[in-house]
Structure 1
Amino acid sequence: MDQNALTLFVEIVEAGNLSEAARRLRMSRANVSHRLGQFERELGQQLLRRTTRRIEPTEIGLRLYAHGCAIRNELQAASESVALGKSLQGRVRLSVPSGYGQLVMSDWLVEFKRAYPGIVLDVMFENRVEDLMREEVDIAVRVMSEPPQNLVARDMGPVHYVACASSAWAREHGMPAELGDLPHVPLITSAVHGRQLRVSAYLGEERHEVLLEPTLISENFLFLRKAVQASLGVGIVPDYVFTEELRNGEVVAALREWRLSIFGTHMYMLYMPGRHRTRAATTFIDYMLAKARETRDSAMSPVTAE
């Protein structure tokens, strides 16, 4: 059996269609299709069912794919064994949320790159989980309450939302004193497109839910940060957006007795189970989890509302 053809077949299955496989392999789509056809004729078996948008492996194709993955993983493991003693090499494709990625993880990523200059970091700032299923990324970091059952989820710590405003806005307008005040102030926050924004609020075991209609909405937390600092209203954002400003009083928080949540209560690092992880990816995962633990352990005590 042609090992190169088997490798090509594995790439096609993981890409989901011939065009994407061609892009990843830096080949023409016609060439990929031709070589796949040759492989199927050599084996005398149909390996893929083609639809208008995707391709799916047949039963024999699934079995062959499993063998192909095992062979590829063994080759990767062999290559890494040879590389022991040399500087760590490899590539890590990472997807991180825009806010947490830029405001918290950026420094960690820079430190990691300095420590492991031979590892290529390919970082996307976005919020889609499905990229992990399509193998567009190796690792994703996401805010959620419950991680998907089909993914490995490593808890990076709780996410605390705060209702906050610039000290200038607070002096002029006053801060919300009750949970029910939130719908009556100009709110700045992120929301899921096409859905009514709901904030969950917990006081001990007691849970409340409040419908909100923000006056400024964006998935870009750096923009939301500027809007709050510009005294445009009350932001409902994760506390890491204003760590220093909450400490020095430039930004003040209200309703601190409540635990607020919009998208989820924890930050998770997600990756596919069963997929071979390179030494570069394993090293990266351990490094980031250690940084998250370090940050969590040294977290400041809650800021007193003014």
Structure 2
Amino acid sequence: MSLDVQSLTLLVQILDAGNLAEAARRMKMSRANVSYHLNQVERAIGQQLIRRTTRRLEATEIGLKLYEHGRVIQNELLAARESIATLGQELSGRVRLSVPSGYGQLAMSPWLLEFKRLHPAIVLDVLFENRVEDLMRDEVDVAVRVLSEPPQNLVARDLGPVRFVACASRAYAEQAGLPQRLEDLQHTPLLTAAVIGKQLRLAAYQDEERHEVLIEPTLISENFMFLREAVLAGLGVGLVPDYTVRDLLEAGTVVTALDAWRLSIFGTRMHLLYMPNRHHTRAMATFIEYVLRRAQARA
């Protein structure tokens, strides 16, 4: 077997899958068959392309170079096929999107519905979830997340700042009072999200100063819609993104505290994330540019 497009495609499929068993499942082949073809390619080239570790497969230096060539070729072929298939047709395709529960429902829902009206032939598949480790899986084309530092192996497009607020229902504020200093948060029933197994730290910025406060919430959930209800129910002071309670603040049913500080827990920016080497269909490229425009207009 010589090095050809088929060999490069095999290499791309194996490295994208991360292990031979998953590659075999995606290519509808047996694991032994995938391993045999990989060995044939390596023998023909005379160099090892993939290093087997206990957890996953890693490309050698030459393997990574060939992978990058293979990805370019594969993406060009996919783009050519799509151009032929969609010639003169309405924009169609499928976009699988993963968005945080709160931001997705409260900020992005109108955008997604408008995009669907503009492009009725595009299948929009939306997952509402918050876990970062789900980003790499193949079923998701695009993900939106709050991150302090986006993963280096993903393309991160900035969707704008995320502003946390300390807030409570007006009834709670009148009865129990609101925290006046950052230190007061350590003695206040707090409602917020947290990272399992990690001590929760609230970062607070004022001018050029940065302060950190260790906090221990009494109600914890990664679902900001639930936290919004908890704030309304008067169960304590919520530390939530401003978009979670924006309409309640405007209505006056919820009030804020510590307004002189910029507050942050998980990061200060929202990012749109996708794989750098995955083929962008016309539908996916159109969707990404649309979301970036809407986020820019909102900021």
The residue aligned with 1:302 is none
1:217 is aligned to 2:220: yes
1:185 is aligned to 2:192: no
In structure 2, list runs of 5 or more residues that go unmatched.
none
The residue aligned with 1:300 is none
Post-superposition offset of 1:261: 0.9
Q: Pick one of 138, 141, 150 that aligns with 1:147.
A: 150
Post-superposition offset of 1:213: 0.9
Post-superposition offset of 1:81: 2.6
The residue aligned with 1:7 is 9
Q: Distance in 1 between matches of 2:61 and 2:257?
A: 58
The residue aligned with 2:78 is 76
Contact 1:14-1:134 at 8 Å conserved across structures: no
Which segment is superposed worse, 90-99 or 23-32? 23-32
Contact 1:156-1:292 at 8 Å conserved across structures: yes
The residue aligned with 2:99 is 96
Structure 1 residues 230, 287: CA separation in 2 closer, same or farther (over 3 Å shift)?
A: same
Secondary structure of the 1:253 match is: strand
Secondary structure of the 2:64 match is: helix
Structure 1 residues 120, 256: CA separation in 2 closer, same or farther (over 3 Å shift)?
A: same
Letter in 2 for 1:15: A
1:254 is aligned to 2:257: yes
- Residues 132-156 of structure 1: CA deviation (Å, up to 9, x unaligned): 4565533222213343455433221
1:231 is aligned to 2:230: no
- Residues 183-235 of structure 1: CA deviation (Å, up to 9, x unaligned): 11110001112221111112222322211111011111122122112211110
In structure 1, list runs of 5 or more residues that go unmatched.
297-306
Letter in 2 for 1:87: E
Equivalent residues, number: 296
The residue aligned with 1:167 is 170
Secondary structure of the 1:287 match is: helix
Which segment is superposed worse, 273-282 or 247-256? 273-282
Contact 1:200-1:260 at 8 Å conserved across structures: yes
Q: Distance in 2 between matches of 1:268 and 1:59?
A: 30
Post-superposition offset of 1:3: 4.4
Secondary structure of the 2:227 match is: helix
The residue aligned with 1:295 is 298
Q: Pick one of 103, 108, 117 that aligns with 1:105.
A: 108
- Residues 238-295 of structure 1: CA deviation (Å, up to 9, x unaligned): 0111111111012111122221111111111123445442222211111101111222
Q: Pick one of 251, 260, 285 that aligns with 1:282.
A: 285
Cα RMSD for the two superposed structures: 2.6
Contact 1:16-1:134 at 8 Å conserved across structures: no
Percent identity over paired residues: 68
TM-score, normalised relative to structure 1:
0.85
TM-score, normalised relative to structure 2:
0.86
Secondary structure of the 2:79 match is: helix
